């Protein structure tokens, strides 16, 4: 059920239930972090491996010290610059934070979302929310309430409708070694934006065995339809001549007899607009009558790095 009724959402969450939650990045599958039942249901419904930790969503930056301890100064600087917003910090957790949130790790991933519906909801409950993306594990993330309903209509009682997600890809995740930040997941805050705040940041965003944060596995964000990532779209189209193709283009219109559906992410070549349209375009292509999706690699700058990261993982076989 898709609804705008925040009071009903509060009732479900307070009763250890699960809802679909809008954020500025993607929709989340949300539950009370202190309810073992709720968190178990999130993992079960998503079919998510238990070694993959969840992100804690707070109502305000002032609550950070209630969940984390020994917070590096650069973490505080990043929080001051980007919260509320699409930045997740991985920090040493307070003793009362349950292991079922952190996959048994000594750290907790935490952020403050920048969405009016999510913030209004968080203000009306007395616990933080875990809210991993509201999609089956590994599949395309949802950026509308309809995406969530299509995935989980018979498994969750409510999707709280907050419109289409503004950012369109997940939060950037940053952990720390001492006071030095490390990017675990590229996302809606670009590397360049963060480095302007705290200097050079390492990127270490792959871990198959014991990921420090979500989004580090090689295959992720994937459509059911085979997807390949192309540095040269015309050549890729020629190489797959005779195949029913869906094209995911950055800014240009392509024409070929084999193209059944074309999705252009941003006609004005705007990376932020391309990010906001990415998953919705992938959903449409995945529901088209095609055999193959060919995605064009974007410029490897700013948010282009984050979008390319998603496309590389979607293309992993």
Kindly calculate the radius of gyration of the chain based on its CA atoms and give it in whole angstroms. 19
Separation between Cα atoms, residue 97 and residue 33, nearest integer Å: 8
Tell me the pLDDT tens digit for each residue of 275-310.
999 999 999 999 998 999 999 999 999 999 999 999
Tell me how crowded residue 230 is: count the other CB atoms within 10 A of its CB.
Answer: 20
The closest of 292, 262, 289, 257 to 277, measured between CA atoms, is 262
Instruction: Please tell me the number of Cα atoms within 13 Å of 74 on its side-chain side.
Output: 19
What proportions of the chain, in percent to the nearest 5, are helix, strand and coil?
A: 30, 20, 45
CA pair distance 172, 298, nearest whole angstrom: 18
> Can you list the domains of the chain with their CATH numbers?
2-203 (3.90.870.10), 227-315 (3.40.50.11030)
pLDDT at 219: 62
| pLDDT per residue as tens digits for the range 223-249 | 999 999 999 988 998 888 889 999 999
88-125: b or e for each residue (b if 16 or more CB lie within 10 Å)?
A: bbbbebeeebeebbbbebebbbbbbbbbebbbebbeee
Nearest to 213 by CA among 191, 183, 188, 234: 183
Q: What are phi and psi of 181, to 5 degrees?
A: -75, 150
128-186 pLDDT, tens per residue?
999 999 999 889 999 999 999 999 988 999 999 999 999 999 999 999 988 899 999 99
CA pair distance 113, 90, nearest whole angstrom: 15
Distance CA 146, CA 75 (A): 35
The vertex-136 CA angle with 109 and 187, nearest 5°, equals 40
Residue 214's pLDDT band (cuts 50, 70, 90): low
> What DSSP character marks residue 170?
P
Q: What is the pLDDT of residue 59?
A: 97
Task: With a cut of 90, say whether residue 220 has pLDDT above it.
Answer: no
């Amino acid at each position: 059920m898709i609804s705008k009724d925040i009071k009903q959402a509060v009732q479900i969450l307070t009763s250890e239930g699960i809802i679909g939650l809008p954020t500025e990045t993607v929709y989340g599958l949300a539950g009370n972090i202190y309810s073992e039942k709720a968190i178990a249901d999130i993992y079960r419904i998503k079919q998510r491996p238990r070694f993959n930790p969840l992100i804690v969503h707070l109502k305000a930056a002032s609550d950070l010290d209630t969940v984390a301890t020994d917070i590096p100064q650069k973490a505080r600087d990043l929080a001051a610059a980007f919260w509320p917003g699409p930045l997740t910090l991985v920090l040493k957790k307070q003793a009362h934070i349950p292991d079922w949130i952190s996959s048994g790790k000594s750290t907790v991933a935490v952020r403050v979302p920048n969405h009016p519906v999510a913030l209004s909801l968080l203000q009306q409950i007395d616990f933080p929310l875990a809210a991993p993306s509201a999609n089956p594990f590994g599949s395309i993330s949802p950026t509308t309430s309809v995406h969530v309903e299509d995935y989980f209509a018979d498994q969750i009682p409510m999707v709280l409708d907050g419109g289409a997600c503004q950012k369109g890809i997940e939060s950037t995740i940053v952990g720390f070694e001492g006071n030095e930040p490390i990017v675990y997941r590229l996302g809606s805050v670009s590397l360049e934006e963060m480095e302007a705040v705290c200097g050079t940041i390492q990127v270490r965003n792959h871990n198959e065995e014991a990921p420090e944060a979500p989004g580090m596995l090689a295959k992720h964000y994937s459509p059911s339809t085979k997807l390949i990532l192309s540095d040269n779209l015309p050549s890729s189209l020629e190489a797959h001549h005779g195949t029913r193709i869906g094209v995911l283009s950055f800014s240009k219109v392509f024409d070929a007899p084999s193209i059944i559906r074309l999705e252009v992410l941003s006609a004005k070549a705007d990376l932020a607009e391309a990010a906001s349209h990415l998953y919705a375009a992938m959903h449409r292509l995945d529901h088209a009558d095609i055999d193959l999706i060919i995605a064009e690699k974007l410029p490897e700058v700013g948010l282009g790095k984050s979008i390319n990261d998603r496309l590389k993982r979607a293309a992993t076989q």
